[in-house]
Structure 1
Amino acid sequence: MTNSNKDKTVLVTGGSGFIAVHCILKLLQQGYTVRTTLRSLSRQNEVKDMLKVGGISSFDNLSFIEANLSDDKNWNKAVEGCEYVLHVASPTPAIKFKHEDELIIPAKDGVLRVLSASRDANVKRVVLTSAFGAIGMGHKNRTTPYTENDWTNINSNIPPYQKSKTIAEKAAWEFIKNEGGNLELSVINPVGVMGPVLGADYSHSNQSIRQMLEGEIKACPKITSCYVDVRDVADLHLLAMAHPKANGERFLATSGDALSMLDVAKILKRRLGDDATKVPTKEIPNFVLRIAAWRKPELKMLVALLGQYMQASGDKAKKLLNWSPRTNEEAIVATAESLLKLGLIKKIKK
């Protein structure tokens, strides 16, 4: 398998990102030739350092190209000669924005930019990294697990990030339907992504583990989430890339039952011993969080998740693609252990 894959070039967009670097890792391990985009080529060594942590020693099959999702420049070059494209990158807007369009427009335009270039270069298939946020938001009185048949209700009061992911994914499917030509599309919708951190650039979900370990979170908000290991998300991207049955399908990447933040804290307490001394053991009342959000706008997204039903099903990927993810507990513990191993947790005074 390894030798036959060397002749196949795969583009991974946004190579410095948490999911993207794990996708690159898997592709190199399976013998593919990999090209990846960066907004600045000054980050090449950072990506290589993360891949070294993941066990890669040779970079002969890896190349970099500078490309930005908000600019047409270099995208035709980026996809040239590629059999597959993993579009993992997401535009990174300012944390504080004046209007939701500052999130929505770059997300949508970026997806269409990559799909257009891929179609024109005769790429066989694009795998788009969407999110659970495009499936499970804006639904009232939900009592059954979310599946790939569900879409977030963008007409309800939902956070701009989830709205942007929904609009971008819908735009991708519309493009394939109306303008895609022979281009195939598969979509991955991950829930909260945990798992081994390879460097200082890692996901928002992992930040919550860091905050717990450092004692930054004094009490847990009463919100729940499903989780998945980043290694399994990367596996699912590769399955969706090459499996004939994955064309035209979306796949929820999730493992096990939804966990409250307090459940996550209890896992850390049970598995990490002295390293978890600062992990919270209590929940914060909803009204206290709502009051705090008036002073700290970044908490508003948490407030929007209070009381939300968040259970999702990963059965489709398991049945159709034979995907076999790790447990959510294994993913959570792997996050914590990697943060500690790489020295990314401030020293805890015991």
Structure 2
Amino acid sequence: MPDRVLLTGVSGFLGGHVASALLAAGYQVRGSVRNLVKADKVRETLTKAGADVSRLEFVALDLLKDDGWDAAAEGCRFLLHTASPFVLQMPADKMELIRPATEGTQRALNAGLKAGVERIVLTSSMAAIAYGHDRGRAAPFTAADWTNLEGRGVTAYVESKTRAERRAWEIMKAAGRTDGLTTINPSGIFGPLLDEDPGTSAQIVIRLLNGGMPAVPRFNFAIIDVRDVAAAHVAALTAASAGGQRFPMGEQNLSLRQCAEILRRRFPAYARKLPRFELPDWFVRVYALFDADLRGNLGELGVVRRMISSDAVALLGRPLIPAEDAIVATAESLIAFKLV
């Protein structure tokens, strides 16, 4: 009988790709959703993506409730915890992000340890690595780096991911099972959508293609393709070298203006809607007084955070998908689903 994997957050953008990769690799997948009403939609989505869903089952789990976690992990060889809140607009109360991220991680890991799973793979983020440091830092970030929660530019989301991963390592250390945990720390995740839900990262591409940004702030971010992130999660389950390790993932840094230029070149029908210019920082700060989305991200102006992804490349055994391809795949699927 195939090894069973408990996969939390199966209905999410990354979770769906991870489920597809697990099924393609021959695993039995027990996917968690907050409400079982979502199960049929997830099954339909994965079937359309070419997955064999005969080895897929569902359980209902809530990051903020104890119910069902132990039973969900029972009989599983591995646990993949991808479920965590992600937003572009920061909430007024940062605990709206921090509580589900940290408490959900704690519930997942404790259930996995109680069930005796062989390895737990946690979806963390570069947010737990690269923030709160000197804005002028030129050196790329590595697995040895941690976000400084006392530093500048630490949003509620950054704090939530940092605290959740810190808590994961604490739990595993206390259990004497540090080698039983692996974290995947991706940068901005782009790539093909599996259904009509654009998630969060794809909203950036939507706004660019729809003409929602006549000019763009000086925002720069590392980009990774969702297919690589999903493949890394699956590889980390059994790779002997992955135990007790963190894997930063970012293929290339691109500015919003560079993303717009890629889209203009690859999708000429949208060229007139795409921005050509960067806004001066002073204007962005003034405009942010009236735009909550922008206001929560002012700390990103002009900051470039590069990642060392060589360990992830070694884990996958191949080069990463180019960032441009990830942006293009996002746009292609948005167009196919008529979301732009």
User: How far apart are residue 179 of structure 1 and its match?
Assistant: 2.6
User: How far apart are residue 95 of structure 1 and its match?
Assistant: 5.7
Distance 1:301 1:172 in 2: 27
1:92–1:194 Cα change, 3 Å:
closer
User: 1:18-47, CA deviations, whole angstroms, 9 ceiling, x for partnerless residues?
Assistant: 000000001111111001000011111221
SS at match of 2:54: coil
Runs of 4+ in structure 1 deviating by more than 4 angstroms, as ranges, are: 92-96, 180-183
1:314–1:183 Cα change, 3 Å:
closer
Question: Which structure 1 segments of 5+ residues have no match?
Answer: 1-5, 346-350
Distance 1:260 1:61 in 2: 41
2:68 matched to which residue of 1?
Answer: 74
2:281 matched to which residue of 1?
Answer: 286
- Which residue among 216, 221, 238 is the counterpart of 2:212? 216
Distance 2:233 2:127 in 1: 18
Percentage of identical aligned residues: 38
Contact 2:263 2:328 in 1 (8 A): yes
Distance 1:240 1:291 in 2: 45
1:182–1:154 Cα change, 3 Å:
closer
Paired AA for residue 78 in structure 2: Y
- Which residue among 57, 70, 86 is the counterpart of 1:63? 57
- Which residue among 289, 297, 301 is the counterpart of 1:302? 297
Q: Could you say what the CA RMSD is over the residues aligned between the two structures, in angstroms? A: 1.8
User: How far apart are residue 53 of structure 1 and its match?
Assistant: 3.2
1:181–1:224 Cα change, 3 Å:
closer
Distance 2:86 2:127 in 1: 16
1:348 matched to which residue of 2?
Answer: none
- Which residue among 130, 134, 137 is the counterpart of 1:142? 137
Equivalent runs, 1:299-338 vs 2, <5 Å:
299-338=294-333
1:160 matched to which residue of 2?
Answer: 156
Paired AA for residue 310 in structure 1: R
1:340 matched to which residue of 2?
Answer: 335
Distance 2:316 2:21 in 1: 17
1:247–1:183 Cα change, 3 Å:
closer
1:101 aligns with 2:66: no
- Which residue among 183, 188, 191 is the counterpart of 1:192? 188
Contact 1:189 1:253 in 2 (8 A): yes
Question: Which structure 2 segments of 5+ residues have no match?
Answer: none
1:117 matched to which residue of 2?
Answer: 111
1:250 matched to which residue of 2?
Answer: 246
User: 1:196-252, CA deviations, whole angstroms, 9 ceiling, x for partnerless residues?
Assistant: 011133442211001111111221110111101101110111111110110000001
Paired AA for residue 74 in structure 2: E
1:7 aligns with 2:2: yes
User: How far apart are residue 321 of structure 1 and its match?
Assistant: 4.8
1:53 matched to which residue of 2?
Answer: 48
Distance 1:327 1:300 in 2: 30
SS at match of 1:60: helix
1:59–1:51 Cα change, 3 Å:
same
User: 1:275-309, CA deviations, whole angstroms, 9 ceiling, x for partnerless residues?
Assistant: 34311111122112111221222212321101212
1:85 aligns with 2:104: no
Number of equivalenced pairs: 338
Contact 1:119 1:182 in 2 (8 A): no
Q: Which moved more, 1:294-303 or 1:109-118?
A: 294-303
Distance 2:265 2:226 in 1: 22
1:180–1:37 Cα change, 3 Å:
farther
Distance 1:93 1:195 in 2: 18
Contact 1:243 1:321 in 2 (8 A): no
Query: TM-score of the superposition, structure 2-length normalised?
Result: 0.95
1:233 matched to which residue of 2?
Answer: 229
User: How far apart are residue 320 of structure 1 and its match?
Assistant: 4.9
User: How far apart are residue 323 of structure 1 and its match?
Assistant: 4.5
